[in-house]
Structure formats: structure tokens, C-alpha cells
Chain A
Amino acid sequence: MVKRFKKSFIAPIPITISTQIYGLLPNIYPHNPISWIHFFVKYLWIYFKPIPQRSISNLSVVFEDNLFKVLNKQHQERLWDYGFFGKGTLSRSELNWYSSTQKRLHLGDDNFELSNEEITKFRREERVKFKKERTKEQELELKKRKNEISESELQELDEIKKTLIKFRKNNKLKIKQERQVPIEYKDMRPEDQEIIDEESMTLQEIEYLQLSAVETFYLKLIDVIDVFEADQLTLEDVFYKCCGTKTPKPDNQFILSYIAYHHYRSLGWCVRNGIKFGCDYILYKKGPPFSHAEHGILIITEANPKSWTEMQTVSRVIGSVRKNLVLNFIDVPTPNELNEILNDSDDQKFFRLLQLYKVNEILYKRWIPNRTRD
């Protein structure tokens, strides 16, 4: 039996705040003057300490092949732990290709932490086993009904029924890990050989963290990353790179996506891509490891209205995974209003750009009159 190591929640964005380093401010009890003094002493003490975020240098992101890549291991970890930004290019979401490959080829120590992918794989295998047993049971039941069943088969049926009950009751995860002999270099698959050094038997890291356009612009906006192409890119450069054009229209796909993204991020939600569920974003309260996402966000604009078929399709998928479907109707400014702001030269223009748009949120749900009668 393997216990899964559960991470604790650190922070919603990659900014280290003072209370993280110097401890929380004490509570104030209005009737207790000592608590007031305690509070102010602590407050002043922190006030004269250095600001923690100042000593943290910006994380570096490389713009290459039209992708935003994070190659530094520590930077990757910080982006993941502080707000769950980005996606491992060879993993489902968190970067774990390296450790799972090591485990598959038995290179390092057998570590006992299971990746999400492995758990899903295991669950699916269990499910297949269960279904196999169930079809066997159904076949025997049929025989019984036709009166063609023999004594031994009757006994088998009883046993299968017992195991099926066991399967249904058991929802704990039990994975046995077998310690195996390391695989010899010559027995490895050719694609594995390519990324393993024969002498030291070490695995080469080929996975990196990829940031989406909206994530990159958000992180650049709050000034926690530096983006490099040949030189360092400014916020404006990043904006036009993300838009894909030097003359974006008001209903530019990137700008609209970013409006919704920034809106929910600024309310403290962990926003991740919703392509898995056919919508634009999914919202987590803290992050993927802690709970299921609660809302699915679908962006709709005047220029791009949805049909009933599309709506019902998305709603069915989102409904089946117990999330709410929230429609984001985004009000768009006129091209003149947008260009006026983009022509400004100061750094605050993106702030004014965000203010030109407006988000209207509508919850879309199937109504089943049968169920709401009382």
C-alpha cells in the first residue's frame, strides 16, 4: 500500500508576500489592549525588514518556435507551486515525465510517489478487470436462465458474485510496486537509448514547462517573469507577440481570452485551460491537486454567437463532470477606442485597455421540470 504525498497549498501567484517570510500578523481582540500592542510591534518590526519580493529575481521565459518555454528547473517549480501556471510538454499537466521515465526504466532509486497519470492508469486497469468479471457473470446468468448450467458453473457464478461485491465496495487505492532489476542499456527501446547516457546511465531531461499566451502576458504584467527572444522583450513586445499581429482588432482572440483569464485570476481563482471539457477555461478554488474544478468558462462574443447544438454539447460534457457552465459575454470597445490606447507610449496603457472591456457572466443550466417540482 502506497501513501500518496500530498502537497500543501503555498500561494495563488508567484509573489512572495511579507507574512510568508516573517509570519502572520497576530489577531486583534478589541477588548484586549495587549493584543493591540502586540499587533503594532509586529507590524513595525516587519515594516523595517526588507521587502521579500525585492530579493527574488524574475523567472526567465524563452520565446522560441512561437512557444513560451520555461527551462530552468527551479523556475518551473516556482511557477507550478505558486498558482499552477503552465503545463509539462510531455505530461498531463505537472512536469513528471522525468521521474516516470526513470521509474519505468528503473534508473534511480525506486521512489514511491505516484504520478497522477499512473493513478489514472491503475484505476482504468481495475475498471477493465471489473468489467471482465461482470460479463462473465452475465454469461453465466444467461446460462442459468436457459437451464443449461452445470454444477461447477453454478459454483463459479457464486464466487464471481462475491468478487464483484468486493470490487464495488473497495474504493481504496492499492498499488503494489515491484522492485525490478534495472534494464540493461542494450535491451532498451531505441528511443530510450537516444536520451540515456550509456556510461553513467543518466536520463537526459527533454521536457520543459510551456506557458500559454495568456499566462505569459499575465505574469509579465505583474512583473514576475522576464521574456527573452534574442533580447529581452518588453511588455508591449509580448502583447503584440501574443496577439499575433501589430494591429489587433478589438475582438482579437487573444485579447478576449486574456480578459476572461485576468478577470478570474484577479478574483483569486486558479484558471486552467478547459479544452478537456470543450470550454475555454476551468476554475479551481486552489489548484488541480486539491479539488476538482468547479466552473467551466465559455467565452461568447457578438461576432461569434453560438448555436443550440454547440451549447447543448458543451453543457452535456460539463454537466457530466459536475461543473457549472458559466457563459462570458464580453462587451468589446470600438476599434478607435482601442487604437487610441495602443498608440499611447506609457506603461499603464494596458491597464486602461483592460478597463475598456466588460465581462457579463451568465450561468447556463439544463432545467428538468420533473426534479424541481417540490
Chain B
Amino acid sequence: MNDDDFKLDIEDEEVYNLKDFEPDGTDYQQNKLSNSLDLIYSLISEEIKTHEKNCIVGIYLKTQETIILKPKGNFFRDFGYSKTLNGNIYVFLNKLESLYLLQRGNLIIYLGNEKFNHYLDGYINNFNVNELYSLNLQHFYSFLCSSDLKKYQVFAYLKRLGYLIKEYDGLKNHPPPIFQIGVQDKSMYQDIFTKGFRDKHYFGYKEIFERLRVIPSAQNFESLQKNYESDFEIHFNVWKPRNNFSKKNLPVPDFMICMVDEFPKINDVYSLLNKVIKPEKKSDTKPKSNKVQTRNNLKKDKEKTERDKERERERERDFKLKNNGRNVILAKVDNGVNFISLSEMDFESVSLY
């Protein structure tokens, strides 16, 4: 194939909508469409090949894990865990990780046997991998049960987008934050209905609203005080693509994902949130511009009226409202994968008056 074939046929810099490809009966459009179709078909029909150098050999063990004898490549930044057996360091992959690499063509998997176990235990010194039975993709798929398959769909989708993923393993190394009860005593405003708001001078609507605020509402992190019974579990920790990622010293995950079937009830939501580690606060302040302080600029800053400041305060408040609580992501597999993010909110903490 020529290099030119891969270039998309963009003649002008117009942006196309779906409706622009409505058949208009011209040969011009027909040719364009069939050309790009041919290109896609030829790409798909290409045999996927991996260079011998990049190919990894793994052996599938009875423990449902794949042992990698010589790990190499970028995948092992987040894939698997390493363990030392008889002085050799090996990497073990779980089923999802193995399948992902197998499907990409980076991994050849053999089915382990007794002799290989003896080799791992150190009874035999030499072992030839070619003696083992090699597993093809179809065969490996049959090892997955239906829930695994859904998990794999989510895993592979996020992996293809470049995210770093590990299976959730509890709140290791990250103790849950401690919840402090805010002022919630509302009994002092008991006289509200007998006197109405004609009893005294009010100097602002704040006073009135504070008296009306009688309905209890959940505060952020309040659910930590209770244990919720629920079948919902968190399945994956997900990190945005980053350079300084280390398996030994895992950073706080950016997203935590739970695979769901039913829409959760409030108990389930709180039970999930209690298992979540909250990422450190993002700095929401913009970097200060290095504007030269001329007399003109200073004047302009002064002209930055009260209204602008008020707007800035409002923006900050809105940000706080949406981002101060914990957050969990639900993944619902239904032909494709749908993601829903649920975060706790506390309107009372950022009241308008």
C-alpha cells in the first residue's frame, strides 16, 4: 500500500455534518463515498502482524492468571503485578489484561501443564515453551463468564482510549477522610409558625431563610458514619494517561468505576461513595497573567467593578457545589458501554443568602 492511501481525501477545510452525506444522486458523491469505503475495507482486511521483538509469551495457569516470562513493552506500566519465584521476577496478568493483549496481537498464550509447574517450582532447569498447547483468541474468550465479558468491554474501551486501569482493591494506603459534623441544630427556630415574620426588624433575607431552614439534608462525607448494606461493588480504579505512573506506589485514582445492572438506590450510592478515595483538590484558580503594571492597566483593574468580583465569587461557589463531594462512575453495558457519573452535593453548604 502506498502512503498516500492512508491520507483522507480532504479537499477543502469545510466541516461536514452527518446530513451532508445524504445521497444527492451525483457521481461525484458516489465516487467519494465508494473511495473511502474501499479504504476502510482494505484497512480492515489487512492481517494484523506484530514484530517478533515486540511479542510477549505468556502461560495461562490454573490460578486463572497468565505468567509472563520476559515482560517488555509499555503495557506493564499498569498491567499485572510482579512476584519473585526462585530468584526470577515474573509478571502475572489477570484474565482481562491477558485477553486485551491477546486481542491486540502482542501476546502469545500457552496453556500450562504439570511439567511447567515443576519448572516454576525449580525441579526442572530447562523448559521449552513450544511443548505447550497454544491458545487462540476464541479459546481464551471461552474462559470468561458473562460478567467477565461485560467487565472486559469496559476495560478494553477505556484501555483503548489510553487510560491506566487496575482492579479495585479496597481503600489500601488511603484511609477514608474523617467526617466532621457541621452545625445542624435547627431546633432553635421553633417559634417560626406562631409569630410569622412580623415579630421583629429584619436586616437581611439571610435571617429569614435561616429560620426557614428546617429540613435536614445530607452533608458531604456524612455517609461515612454509617455502614450501608449493598450488593454494589467498585470494580476498577482508573487514572488519566500520565508519565509518572508506578505500580508499586499507586497514586489516587482519578475515577472509580462500578459495573451496574439496575439503577442504584440511595443506600447503594452511599455504600459506593464510602469505598471511594477522593482525589486531591484541583486548583481551580487560573494562573495569574504576567501583565506589566502600567498606569493604564491599574486603572483598568480598578474599573473591575463590584459586579465582576461578585461574578467571580459566584463561579467559585458553583464550582464548590459540584466538586466538593465524592464521586463514583457507573458503567452500564447495554450493546455499548454507557458511563454515568454520580457525585454527592450539598446545597446547604453554599447557600445563596
Chain A interfacial positions (CB closer than 8 Å to B): 11-13, 15, 17-19, 25, 46-47, 49, 51, 53-54, 142, 145-146, 221-224, 235, 259, 262-269, 285, 294, 300, 302, 305-308, 311-312, 315, 324, 326, 329, 331, 347-348, 350-351, 354-355, 357-370, 372-374
Contact = CB atoms under 8 A, between A and B. Distances in A.
B21 interface: no
A302 B264 CA distance: 10
Interface string B263-296: 1011001100000000000000000000000000
Given A348-B190, A369-B163, A19 B203 contact: yes
Given A266-B215, A267-B209, A369-B339, A221 B344 contact: no
Nearest to B347: A267
Interface in B140-188: 157-158, 161-163, 186
Interface string B323-338: 0010001001010001
Q: Which 5 A-B pairs have the closest CB atoms?
A: A223-B196, A268-B352, A329-B266, A367-B339, A266-B212
B198 A54 contact: yes
A149 to B, nearest CB: 13
A274 to B, nearest CB: 16
A99 B343 CA distance: 45
Contacts of A355: 186, 214-216
A363 B339 contact: no
A203 B178 CA distance: 66
B332 A308 contact: yes
Contacts of A347: 193-194
Contacts of B28: 145
Nearest to A142: B24
A222 B212 contact: yes
B217 A268 contact: no
Which of A305, A348, A354, A372 has the most C-beta atoms of chain B within 10 angstroms of its own C-beta? A372
A222 B124 CA distance: 86
Given A53-B198, A222-B196, 13 more contacts: A12-B209, A17-B204, A19-B203, A262-B215, A315-B340, A324-B322, A331-B266, A351-B193, A363-B342, A364-B340, A369-B163, A374-B240, A374-B241
Contact of A373 (B161, B218, B263, B334): B161
13 contacts: A17-B201, A223-B193, A223-B196, A308-B263, A329-B266, A357-B216, A358-B218, A363-B341, A363-B343, A365-B341, A367-B339, A369-B161, A369-B163
B192 A351 contact: yes
A362 B344 contact: yes
